[in-house]
Amino acid sequence: MKIATIGLDIAKNVFQVHGVDGEGRVVLRRKVRRDKLLGLFSDLEPCLVGMEACATSHHWAREVAALGYEVKLMPPAYVKAYVKRNKNDAADAEAICEAVTRPTMRFVPVKSADAQSVLMLHRARHLLVRQRTAQVSALRAHLAEYGIVAPKGRAHVRDLVAVLDSGGGPLPDLARQTLLLIARLIEGLTEQIRKIEIELMAWHRASPACRRLETIPGIGFITATALVATVGDAHTFRSGRQFAAWLGLVPKQHSTGGKERMGGISKMGDRYLRHLLVIGATAVLRYTSRKATPISLWANRLLERKPARLVTVAVANKMARIAWAVMSREENYRSTPVAA
């Protein structure tokens, strides 16, 4: 049998394979266990293989591509429209097989193992930061019950820990021992976060693309490494506008009958990258009155008629477009001279 296209629905243990020939006739429909999957593909002639971009998909894409196949990953939301009636593994594999051949389908680049390792560092750091924030909030809340408070900000947590270490104040010994456990946990989380940031900084310094991105206002080594590891090849996007739309930094449309209706930002694409860019835009906006750069002047004019949060997202959109231009052209960010 001559197979032209295969749709592969991946899972933890049992995978579904759906293959069609050049005329679209089904010639292969089979359930395969995890340890038998590569053996099945090694017995077939290389062809086009489609998968959904989900958990473990990049690993299997690299493994199948190593056997000579052309592998394409697709966002699951774009495949859903091709599922007929009830949802099951066989129907999903058939939908993937059909969707991968569509000329207008958008694909997800297959990430390398190194890029996935960098993104794993980011995910681990994000998890530890959230855990540290939760512990700091708990420590503040417990101490407030005894009338011990400190100004906002993680830097002032040291003052609270100093109160615990001193042994003074209205705290009973039992409460002090319990809160010292939380304080030591916060210190341990901070140390783990610092180790991850050292690894990210080393990767950042070794990557020319990351160093170029760092020249953009509001982008540091955290955002730069996340962008390079996630995007990979910027030429996947036709323009900076498409890249910003992929990140969900553009208005959601509800247009019909020739009437354009724009809502809030669509929040599509990578949530983590959008989070980092908005944080960077917030920093740019905070110091915009002190600097006479093109972005700051543009943001100041926008602030005169728009709310600050809306301007923050607009600046994040502009940063995303600049980042695409820097990555695609392989040049440093060049700020346009401001007239005196």
CA R_g for the chain: 25
pLDDT in tens, the chain (340 residues): 689 999 999 999 999 999 999 998 999 999 999 999 999 999 999 999 999 999 899 999 999 999 999 999 999 999 999 998 888 999 999 999 999 999 999 999 999 999 999 999 999 999 999 999 999 999 999 988 988 888 887 788 888 888 888 776 678 889 889 999 999 999 999 999 999 999 999 999 999 999 999 999 899 999 999 999 999 889 889 999 999 999 999 888 888 888 888 888 888 888 999 999 999 999 888 877 677 778 888 888 888 898 988 999 999 999 999 999 999 999 999 876 544 4
* Res 168: pLDDT: 67
How far is CA 297 from each of CA 173, 284, 287, 294, 305, rounded to the nearest angstrom?
A: 56, 11, 11, 5, 14
253/260 Cα distance (integer angstroms): 7
99, 79 Cβ separation under 8 angstroms:
yes
- Domain 5-99 belongs to what architecture? 2-Layer Sandwich (3.30)
Helix (H) / strand (E) containing 51: strand 48-52
- Please report the DSSP string for 136-199 in residue order: HHHHHHHHHTTT----SSGGGHHHHHHHHHH--SS--HHHHHHHHHHHHHHHHHHHHHHHHHHH
- Position 293 scores a pLDDT of 75
The widest CA-to-CA distance across the chain, in whole angstroms, is 82
How far is residue 118's CA from residue 273's CA, in Å, rounded to a whole number?
14
Residue of 58, 163, 71 lying closest to 115 (CA atoms): 58
Q: How, if at all, do strands 70-74 and 251-253 pair?
A: unpaired
Q: Tell me the three state secondary structure of residue 10.
A: coil
Instruction: Give the span between the Cα atoms of 125 and 102, in whole angstroms.
Output: 38
State the distance between the two ends of the chain, measured CA to CA, in whole angstroms.
Answer: 73
User: How high is the pLDDT of residue 80?
Assistant: 93
Residue 53: per-residue pLDDT = 93
Report the pLDDT value the prediction gives residue 36, as an integer from 0 to 100. 94
In one-letter notation, the amino acid at residue 193 is: I
| pLDDT score at 289 | 65
Instruction: Give the pLDDT of residue 249.
Output: 92
Q: Which DSSP symbol is given to 234?
A: G
pLDDT for 274 equals 94
Sign for the CA dihedral angle at 239, 271, 279, 184 comes to negative
What does the pLDDT read at residue 340? 40
One-letter identity of residue 204: H
Tokens 């700020």 belong to 335
Burial class of 90 by CB neighbour count within 10 A (0 to 12, 13 to 18, 19+): middle
Contacts of residue 150, Cβ cutoff 8 Å, sequence gap at least 6? 140, 156, 157, 159, 160
Residue 265 dihedral angles phi and psi, to the nearest 5°: -65, 150
Structure tokens belonging to residue 266: 């669509």
**CB crowding 177-208: b at 16 or more within 10 Å, else e:** eebeebbeebeebeeebeebeeebeebbeebe
Instruction: Name the pTM for this structure.
Output: 0.86
